[in-house]
Amino acid sequence: MKEELGAGRRKLEGELRNLVGNIFVPEVKVFGMACGCVGYAADLRGLQSDDVDVFKEKINAILSELSKSVGVEPEFIYARKLPGSEEVVTLTARELCERCKREFAGSKASPRPDIVVLKKRR
Amino acid sequence: MRLIIPHPGHFPALKEILAYKESEGIKDVAEVYMAGSPDVMGSGRATLHAALVDEIKEQTAYAHQHNVKLNIVMNPSCLGGYHLTLHGFKTFDWYFNELNKAGVDGVTVAEPYFVELLREHSMETVISCVAHVDSPQRAEFFEALGADAIAVDTNINRDFGILKAIKKAVHCDIRVLVNEGCLYKCPFRHAHFNLFSHITSSRASSSQNAQVQPPNTFGDYYFDKCISIRVRDPSQIIRSPWIRPEDLKAYEAIGIDEFKISGRANAVRWILNCMEVYHRRELKGNLLEVLDCPSELRYTFYLDNGLLDGCIDQWKNCKKICDDCRYCDELTSKVLKVIKK
C-alpha cells in the first residue's frame, strides 16, 4: 500500500495542478473510524470550493480511482471546507458504515455547511 | 412546549428541517437558531457557515413562511475588549441594525454590553447559556439589562430549587438546553468557550488590526481532555446535566416549557432525529444518540435510556455532593455499557 499512497498523492497533486493551478497536496491517508467507516483522504492547500464545483466530475473520477487503489470503495465523496470560508482543506472518499449512511449521508441537504458532497451512491 | 432547533446555517439544511417538521407533524418547533457572521464576531461554539446578511434575510423569510422564528447566535464569551472600542461599537451596532432590517426575530448573546445595545432594536434578546445564568440574582441582572429570554446555565438543569427560584424572580422566558452532553461543572468550560470565541472569529473582527489572524492552535486541548476524562470515568456521562425526552414534563410542572436542542455543528440528519425524539418525548435505545457530545462517546458507550426512568426524581433534589451520594456511580454500572465490536 505504501507505493499506492505515494503514487496517489503525486497523481492527485499533478491532476489538480493541471486543472486549477498551483495546488499542494501535503498528505494522503487511509483511515478506519470507530463507527465502522473506512476512507481515503487527501489534505489540500490552494483549492477553493468554486474549483470543486467546476471540476466535480474529474475530481470524483480521480478520488474514485485512488481510493479503489487502496481497497476503499468510494461510496461517498466529499470536500471539506475550512468552516466559514471557501478554502477546501480535505477531499475524502469514504466507505460508509450503516450509522453514517443514515446520519452523515442520509439528508438531502449537505450534512454540514462545511461539507460539499461530490458523490453519493444511492 | 416550544422546541428551539439548531440550524447548521446553510439554506438547504433549513429547508430540510422545516420540511421534516411539517411532514412529521412536529408542531412544537417554534424557533431555529444559527450562527451569525464570523466576519463580525466569533461564537461560543463551532461555526461552520458564514451567512451574509442577504442570506439571513432570505432564510428568515423562509422560516416565517413556515411559522417558525429565526434567531441569530452571537455569543462569544470573549471579544478581547474590541466591543468597547468606538470601531467595535460601530461594527456591532451596524450588524444588529442589519439583522433587524432583515427581519430576524431574535439575537442570542452572552455579553452584557450587547444586551444593552440590543435594546435599541425590536428583536428579541436571548441570553445565551454562555452567560452562565445560574442564580435568581444573575437572571434579574440580565432581565434588568433588557433580556426577553434566558437560556440558563446547563449546570443547574437538575437543580429544581434554583430553577424554581429563577422562574419566580423574573418575568422573562426561561429556556433549558436539553441535550448538551458537557461535563457537569466542567473545569474547561470557560476556557473552551473563550477559545471558540477567538477561533470562530475571522481576522478583522477580533481586533482593530485587520491583519491579526485567529490563533493557529495545535489542537483542541479541552475537547481531547473532555473525551479522555469520560472514557476513564464513565460516571461523568451520567452526571452531565442532560434532560431525557421523557422528563420534559418535570420542567413543565415548574413552569419551564421552552426546550432548546443543542448541536448546531452536527449533521442535518442528527438534528432531525433529535427534533423528533424530543417532540415525541420518547427514546428507545442509546441516549447518547441524541446528546450533543463528541461522537466518540456514542461509538464507545451504550446508555440505556429505558433504565433511566425515574432518575429525575433523585436528580432534581440532589445536593450534588457526589462523594457522599454515589448515586450516579452506582447507576453507571447498571445503565452504561461499553459497546463491543
Backbone angles phi, psi at A79, to 5 degrees: -105, 140
- Which residue of chain A is at minimal alpha-carbon distance from B300? A34
pLDDT-derived band at A24 (thresholds 50, 70, 90) equals very high
What does DSSP assign to residue B259? Answer: E
Q: Are A107 and B268 inside 8 Å of each other by CB?
A: yes
- Judging contacts by C-beta atoms under 8 Å, the chain B residues touching residue A33 are 299
Q: Give the one of A35, A106, A109 whose C-beta lies nearest to B10's C-beta.
A: A109
**Average pLDDT of adjacent 10-residue blocks, chain B of 341 residues:** 97 97 97 87 73 94 98 91 90 94 97 95 96 98 98 97 98 98 93 84 52 66 88 94 98 98 95 98 97 90 97 94 94 94 73
Q: Do A111 and B269 touch (CB under 8 A)?
A: yes
Cα B151 to chain center, whole Å? 8
> Once rounded to an integer, what is the mean pLDDT over residues A22-34?
93
A-chain residues near B295 (CB < 8 A): 35
Residue B241 in grid coordinates? 446535566
d(CA A103, CA A33): 15
Q: Which residues of A touch B273 (CB under 8 A)?
A: 103
Among candidates B13, B48, B270 on the partner chain, residue whose Cβ is nearest the Cβ of A103: B270
Place of cell 471539506: A80
Q: Which amino acid is at B159?
A: D
Q: Is B135 on the interface with A (CB under 8 A)?
A: no
CA–CA dist A49, A59 (Å, integer): 12
Give A104→chain B minimum CA distance, Å. Answer: 6
Which sequence spans correspond to the domains of chain B? 2-338
Grid coordinates given for B113: 454590553
Q: Write down the pLDDT at residue B249.
A: 98
B261 contacts B4 by C-beta, under 8 angstroms: yes
CA B167 – CA B339 distance, rounded (Å) = 40
Candidates A33, A103, A109; nearest CB to B15: A109
Chain Cα centroid distance, residue B272? 16
Instruction: For domain B2-338, say whether CATH 3.20.20.70 is its number.
Output: yes
Q: Across the interface, do A114 and B48 touch by the CB < 8 Å criterion?
A: yes
Q: Which residues of B touch A106 (CB under 8 A)?
A: 269
pLDDT score at B341? 73
Q: Which among B16, B273, B300 has CB closest to A108?
A: B16
Q: How many CB pairs under 8 A join A and B?
A: 64
A13 at the B interface (CB within 8 A)? no
H helical segments located in chain A: 2-19, 49-54, 56-69, 98-103
The predicted pLDDT at position B44 comes to 67
* Best CA proximity match to B303, nearest among B239, B251, B249: B239
Residue ranges of alpha helices (H) inside B240-326 are 248-252, 268-280, 295-300, 311-315, 322-325
SS3 content of chain B, % helix, strand, coil (to 5): 45, 15, 40
Q: How many CB atoms lie within 10 A of CB A45?
A: 12
State how far the Cα of B283 lies from the Cα of B285, in Å rounded to an integer.
Answer: 6
Q: In this model, does residue A96 exceed pLDDT 80?
A: yes
Among A84, A106, A107, beta carbon nearest to B50: A84
A42 phi/psi in degrees, rounded to 5: -120, 125
Please give the grid coordinates belonging to residue B203. 481576522
- B217 touches A: beta carbon within 8 Å: no
Angstrom CA distances, B92 to B43, B114, B200, stand at 14, 8, 16
Contact at 8 Å (CB) between B120 and B277? no
- Asked if the C-beta of A113 comes within 8 angstroms of chain B's C-beta atoms, the answer is yes
A37-75 pLDDT per residue, tens: 999 999 999 999 999 999 999 999 999 999 999 999 999
Give the strand pairing for B106-109 and B29-35.
Answer: unpaired
Parallel, antiparallel, or unpaired: how do β-strands A76-81 and A115-120 relate?
Answer: antiparallel
pLDDT of residue B40: 79
Determine whether the interchain pair A84/B299 forms a contact, defined as Cβ–Cβ distance below 8 Å.
Answer: no
Q: Measured between CB atoms, does B203 come within 8 Å of chain A?
A: no
**Residue A8 identity (one-letter amino acid):** G
What pLDDT does B203 receive? 47
Q: Is the pLDDT of residue A76 over 60?
A: yes
H/E element, B166: helix B160-169
